[in-house]
């Protein structure tokens, strides 16, 4: 039965009301970028109606083509659109800050006290839950974005390209954008109005920032503003890098961390799942900041804490500085915390610059098919990439020793239960993670031989 829809948009949201929501989001944003985007869609589009689905997807499309964590950039974009620069900075920083503090604490426990059985039990339950969350997010995004056979074909081709051909994500994005540009030019009917635009208006009612809401004054493009944002961003990179060079020298570990993660932020596309192999290669193979086993454990911590998955870089920075005693043997924790904070700064600074500099250009194009058609095709391609990610997670969770090893049936049952809770009963992501973590503890206690 169709529910009654509100006839009016919600009341204007103050900066402080928004701040409380962004703070809450920083603590509940589990499930990697796919899960985080799903949480934001549920909260901001469906429940609170701060932004319409069409405007939400348009901003998401832009964030998808940027290097860096797309979920954090999307929060920054919406915060900026609602409350100017301070709103964008607040949303983006609070998306990251809780995760940074949590990871510093967990990294210290990990390196100082070693493995603890109850932590292993929590991880055992949460990993299959994350797999189910990614599958659910692929279904949600695909249901909104894949509105015709052409977009389905693009999604399928992207899946084959990354799963079978091992094509790099930037190439997939580039090809999808080219197909969208050609489609917008020669077959616009397949690329106009995709992403569930009409459905959003029919399903949730009018939004505070609706399809036809004009961009606010601060979201209108101006060359002076663009150059100002770029200059401030460059200065915020030069000041700490210059201080590291003066104190630590070019070959110093802190300086090299700043330089390496600056490159990671700028040279890798596709969010955390695309950047992690680059980080692994540099941090483990080239610099030796941590071991392969420690890197895998750090990824598990990143998967099971709120915030962007790329926050695993904080673990890398902490472990590298702690184990190498960069501030001496009497200041191990301080060295690790400083390393985590530095790599987080250099990793996320470009994301804020991209949003605050490029946002006005994006707002000027949300009705322009020449711009939206390539982004529509990119969204379709990303659905295929997320499906590949779900299979990757599922394989490593259900066959932890590879195809020739045992099938982990308790993990399969946890994943199935999480999927039923998400798909059938529409349960909140944080509730699902909590229940699965409890199941992991129970299974590790009842079946100690598993895993």
pLDDT tens digits, residue range 205-243?
A: 888 998 888 888 898 888 999 999 999 999 999 999 999
Read off the DSSP letter of residue 51: B
Tens of pLDDT, residues 271-323: 565 566 678 778 888 899 998 778 867 776 776 688 887 888 999 999 999 99
What is the domain range of residue 181? 11-211+222-451
d(CA 220, CA 382): 28
pLDDT (average), residues 382-387: 82
pLDDT (average), residues 384-396: 81
Per-residue pLDDT at 202 exceeds 50: no
pLDDT (average), residues 420-427: 90
Read off the DSSP letter of residue 449: T
Of 39, 47, 110, 71, give the one whose Cα is nearest residue 314: 110
- Tell whether 3 is covered by a domain: no
Beta bridge partners of 56: none
Among the residue ranges 89-98, 112-121, 343-352, the one predicted with the least confidence is: 112-121
- Tell whether 183 is covered by a domain: yes
- Tell whether 4 is covered by a domain: no
pLDDT for res 381: 86
pLDDT for res 2: 47
Three-state SS at 14: coil
Look at the alpha carbons of 339, 354, 357, 200 in this order and tell me if their dihedral is positive or negative: negative
- Tell whether 5 is covered by a domain: no
Tokens read off for 276: 């992690």
- Tell whether 435 is covered by a domain: yes
Size of the chain in residues? 451
The burial of 369, by beta-carbon neighbours within 10 Å (0-12 exposed, 13-18 middle, 19 or more buried), is given as middle
Cβ-proximal residues to 8 (8 Å cutoff; 6+ apart), any chain: 206
- Tell whether 444 is covered by a domain: yes
Q: Rg of the chain over CA atoms, in angstroms?
A: 22
**Mean per-residue pLDDT of the chain:** 84
Q: Does 385 or 72 have the greater pLDDT score?
A: 72
Domain count, the chain: 1
Q: Does 80 or 64 have the greater pLDDT score?
A: 80
451: confidence class by pLDDT, cuts 50, 70, 90: very low
Among the residue ranges 191-205, 249-263, 292-306, the one predicted with the least confidence is: 191-205
pLDDT (average), residues 335-343: 97
- Tell whether 350 is covered by a domain: yes
pLDDT for res 123: 72
DSSP letters of 52-85? -HHHHHHHHHHHHTSBS-HHHHHHHHHHHHHHHH
pLDDT (average), residues 128-134: 82
Tokens read off for 239: 């000041």
Cβ-proximal residues to 150 (8 Å cutoff; 6+ apart), any chain: 183, 187, 190, 191
Q: Does 60 or 114 have the greater pLDDT score?
A: 60
Beta bridge partners of 51: 209
pLDDT (average), residues 149-168: 90
Of 401, 383, 326, give the one whose Cα is nearest residue 38: 383
- Tell whether 6 is covered by a domain: no
pLDDT for res 90: 97
Look at the alpha carbons of 116, 272, 333, 102 in this order and tell me if their dihedral is positive or negative: negative
The whole model's pTM is what? 0.73
Q: Three-state SS string across 275-339, please?
A: HHHHHHHHHHHHCCCCCHHHHHHHHHHHHCCCCCHHHHHHHHHHHHHHHCCCCCCCCHHHHHHHH
Q: Where are the beta strands (DSSP E) in 78-178?
A: none
């Amino acid at each position: 039965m169709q529910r009654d829809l509100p006839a009016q948009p919600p009341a204007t949201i103050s900066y402080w009301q928004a701040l409380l929501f962004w703070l809450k989001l920083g603590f509940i944003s589990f499930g990697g970028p796919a899960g985080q985007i799903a949480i934001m869609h549920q909260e901001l589009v469906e429940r609170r109606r701060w932004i319409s689905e069409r405007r939400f997807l348009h901003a998401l499309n832009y964030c998808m083509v940027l290097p860096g964590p797309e979920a954090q950039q999307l929060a920054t974009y919406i915060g900026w659109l609602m409350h100017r620069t301070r709103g964008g900075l607040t949303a983006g920083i609070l998306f990251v800050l809780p995760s940074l503090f949590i990871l510093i604490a967990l990294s210290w426990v990990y390196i100082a006290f070693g493995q603890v059985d109850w932590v292993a039990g929590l991880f055992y339950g949460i990993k299959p839950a994350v797999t189910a969350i990614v599958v659910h997010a692929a279904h949600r995004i695909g249901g909104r974005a894949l509105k015709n056979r052409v977009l389905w074909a693009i999604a399928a081709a992207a899946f084959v390209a990354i799963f079978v051909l091992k094509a790099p994500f930037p190439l997939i994005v580039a090809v999808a954008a080219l197909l969208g540009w050609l489609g917008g030019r020669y077959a616009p009917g397949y690329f106009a109005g995709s992403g569930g635009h009409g459905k959003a208006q029919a399903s949730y009612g009018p939004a505070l920032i609706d399809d036809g809401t004009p961009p606010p004054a601060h979201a209108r493009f101006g060359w002076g503003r663009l150059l100002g944002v770029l200059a401030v961003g460059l200065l915020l990179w030069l000041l700490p890098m210059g201080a590291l060079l003066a104190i630590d020298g070019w070959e110093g570990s802190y300086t090299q961390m700043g330089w390496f993660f600056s490159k990671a932020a700028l040279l890798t596309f596709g969010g955390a799942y695309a950047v992690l192999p680059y980080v692994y290669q540099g941090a483990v193979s080239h610099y030796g900041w941590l071991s392969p086993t420690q890197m895998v454990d750090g990824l598990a911590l990143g998967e099971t804490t709120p915030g962007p998955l790329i926050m695993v870089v904080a673990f890398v920075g902490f472990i590298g500085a702690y184990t190498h005693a960069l501030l001496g043997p009497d200041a191990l924790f301080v060295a690790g915390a400083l390393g985590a904070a530095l790599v987080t700064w250099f990793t996320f600074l470009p994301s804020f610059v991209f949003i605050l500099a490029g946002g006005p250009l994006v707002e000027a194009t949300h009705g322009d098919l020449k711009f939206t058609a390539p982004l529509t095709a990119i969204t379709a391609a990303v659905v295929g990439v997320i499906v590949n990610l779900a299979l990757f997670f599922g394989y490593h969770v259900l066959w932890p020793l590879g195809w020739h090893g045992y099938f982990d049936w308790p993990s399969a049952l946890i994943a199935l239960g999480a999927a039923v809770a998400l798909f059938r009963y529409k349960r909140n992501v944080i509730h699902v993670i909590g229940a699965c973590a409890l199941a992991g503890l129970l299974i590790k206690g009842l079946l100690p031989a598993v895993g």
